[in-house]
Structure 1
Amino acid sequence: MDRLAKLSSQKAVVIFSKSTCCMCHAIKRLFYEQGVSPMIHEIDEDSRGKEMEWALMRLGCSPAVPAVFIGGKLVGSADTVMTRHVDGSLKMLLKDAGAIWL
């Protein structure tokens, strides 16, 4: 959990992902299209990835990835991020975190 907290606050937007996950790819693309350069942490390429996956699940991410942190705070998985994108609240979160300029 400590490592997860440290990694999630290293940049305005941090995405925990698996390199083979299609939803992870879609979420990363969404952020790139918004002009955001997120820190991507591929947990399937990390020797402690299983620990991180369990920690994400304990935080409420189900499935564990993609897990998106903005401004060091957990936003959620793909469904939450997409809902925020559609209702317009994602842009405000990104602006408040300093990830984009409006």
Structure 2
Amino acid sequence: MNKVMRLASEQGVVIFTKSSCCLCYAVNILFKGIGVNPFVYEIDKDPEGMEMEKAITRLGCTAPVPAVFIGGNLVGSTNEVMSLHLSGSLIPMLQQCQCLS
């Protein structure tokens, strides 16, 4: 849990992913499309990846990947991020943390 929280707080937008996950890729492209360069951490390439997945789930993420953190706070997985974007709430959230370039 400590490693996840440490990494999540080091950058404005952090996405925990797996290299073969198409939803992870889609969320990453969404952020890049709106002008955010997220820090992408591929947990399947980390020896502690399984523990990180469990920690992300314990934090309340509906799916372990993609897990999106903005300003050190868990936003959620694909459904939550897309819902925020479609409702018009994602960009103000990113502006508030000064994550837009």
Whether the TM-score (by the shorter chain) exceeds 0.5 is: yes
Q: Secondary structure at the match of 2:10?
A: coil
TM-score w.r.t. the length of structure 1 is: 0.96
Matched with 2:2 is 2
Instruction: Give 5+ residue unaligned stretches, structure 2.
Output: none
The 5 Å alignment of 1:1-102 reads 1-100=1-100
How far residue 62 of structure 1 moved from its aligned partner, in angstroms, is 2.3
Amino acid at match of 1:9: S
The Cα offsets for residues 28-86 of structure 1, whole Å up to 9 and x where unpaired, read as 00000011011000000111100100000111112110000000000001000000000
Gaps of 5+ in 1: none
For residues 70 and 62 of structure 1, what CA distance do their matches in structure 2 show?
A: 16
CA distance in 1, matches of 2:10, 2:53: 18
Which segments of structure 1 move beyond 4 Å, counting only runs of 4 or more?
A: none
Normalised by the length of structure 2, the TM-score is 0.97
Q: Give the superposed CA RMSD.
A: 0.8
